[in-house]
């Protein structure tokens, strides 16, 4: 696995993507600490198998008659 600081990775991003297409992973560091990885798509799909639902689909999934009770307790004194 190749390890590159962020500045070098920025300059050679297209080369790193081509390397990922060949199956090579690259660790990107920021201030000397691991920050991100560029991995082949198969690895990424294995790590993140499902797609996240869209915000719209989450809104549609909310029940029409959602019962909620408002908390009317005081949050404390506020000096303005």
In the DSSP assignment, the letter for residue 80 is -
Amino acid 3: pLDDT: 97
Domains (range + CATH), the chain: 2-48 (3.40.1620.10)
> What sections of 1-80 are H helices per DSSP?
6-11, 13-21, 41-47, 55-60
Compare 22 and 58 and report the one with higher pLDDT. 22
Amino acid 17: pLDDT: 97
Tell me phi and psi for residue 38, to 5 degrees.
-105, 115
**Cβ contacts of residue 2 below 8 Å, gap of 6+?**
16, 19, 24, 25, 26, 27
pTM score, two decimals? 0.60
pLDDT in tens, 36-61: 999 999 999 888 877 777 899 888 88
Compare 18 and 45 and report the one with higher pLDDT. 18
Amino acid 70: pLDDT: 84
Tokens encoding 60: 């549609």
């Amino acid at each position: 696995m190749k390890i590159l600081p962020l500045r070098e990775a920025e300059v050679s991003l297209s080369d790193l993507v081509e390397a990922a297409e060949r199956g090579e992973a690259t660790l990107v560091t920021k201030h000397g600490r691991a920050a991100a990885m560029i991995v082949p798509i198969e690895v990424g799909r294995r790590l993140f198998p499902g797609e996240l639902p869209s915000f719209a689909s989450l809104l549609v999934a909310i029940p029409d008659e959602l019962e909620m009770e408002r908390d009317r307790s005081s949050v404390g004194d506020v000096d303005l």
